[in-house]
Structure 1
Amino acid sequence: MPVFTVDAPSGARPEAKQKMLKEITEALDEAYHFPDTRGWLREYAAENVSQDGRVQAEPVRPVCTLEVPELASLDAKRKLVRKIEAAIGAGYPGVANTGEVLVLINHYPLENVGWRQNLQSDKPEIVAALSRLNT
């Protein structure tokens, strides 16, 4: 159920993007142990990005948005953020301001997520997995 989106500038090599998406998926799998991780990469030309109200004044600062189950452990979140920032940094060297990656973590309780024609809160295996994750 973890979902992520990376918003970044155009210009990274295809193999670097593929590696980055794989590493972010692996980091989410390690943190959550949930099936069905999905990721999207949205790239923008620098003239289509505003930072602090300015266009093309500095290299684009990437953003990674996570839509994920609740995770209580701050240490697990810190580790996840470090791995995501490292993956984006390796994917966009010289293309983006990879020292200023923003990772937004949006948590969803299981009763607010539908999957396979049910709420995740109705699936005992998912409830058990989240319980183990947050004990």
Structure 2
Amino acid sequence: MPQLLIEAPIGIGDQAKRKMMMEITEAVDAAYHIPDVRIWLREYSPENVSQDGRINAQPIKPLCFLEAPELSDLDTKRTMAEKILAAIATAYRGLANTDETLLLMNHYPLENAGWAGRLQADNPEIVKAVAALNQ
């Protein structure tokens, strides 16, 4: 159930998108081992992005939000972040300022996540999986 939203410029091809999304899925799956990893790519033209109040002033800096269950292992988070940022950097090289891509990780306790008709705190499989992640 981890979800990743990527805000980035328009311009990468389908092959680069597929490769980036596969690499990101693998990175998130390696960290969480929870199925249903989704990636939402939202693309913007430069005239629709303001950085420090200026439109088209510099290449867009991608922004990512990881919405997922709690994950306490800092090394696992670090490795996952490095892989996500590397995949984005490769896909958007020359099109965006990927040296300054921002990844924000929003972690939720299972009692704050509803999916498949119930709170995930009531889903024994997910409770067990997240407990194993955070031992």
TM range (shorter): over 0.9
Give the number of equivalent residue pairs: 135
Q: Trace 1:1-135 onto structure 2 (pairs within 5 A).
A: 1-135=1-135
**1:133 counterpart letter in structure 2:** L
Separation (CA, whole Å) in 2 of partners of 1:9 and 1:74: 30
Report the Cα offset of residue 14 of structure 1: 1.4
Separation (CA, whole Å) in 2 of partners of 1:132 and 1:112: 19
Separation (CA, whole Å) in 1 of partners of 2:95 and 2:12: 7
Separation (CA, whole Å) in 2 of partners of 1:53 and 1:30: 38
Report the Cα offset of residue 22 of structure 1: 1.1
RMSD: 0.7
Task: State the secondary structure of the residue aligned to 1:6.
Answer: strand
**Structure 2: which 5+ runs fail to align?**
none
Report the Cα offset of residue 118 of structure 1: 1.0
Task: State the secondary structure of the residue aligned to 1:77.
Answer: helix
Report the Cα offset of residue 52 of structure 1: 1.3
Q: Which runs of 4+ in 1 moved over 6 A?
A: none
Separation (CA, whole Å) in 1 of partners of 2:57 and 2:69: 36
Give aligned-pair identity as a percent: 59
Separation (CA, whole Å) in 1 of partners of 2:17 and 2:113: 28
Separation (CA, whole Å) in 2 of partners of 1:14 and 1:36: 21
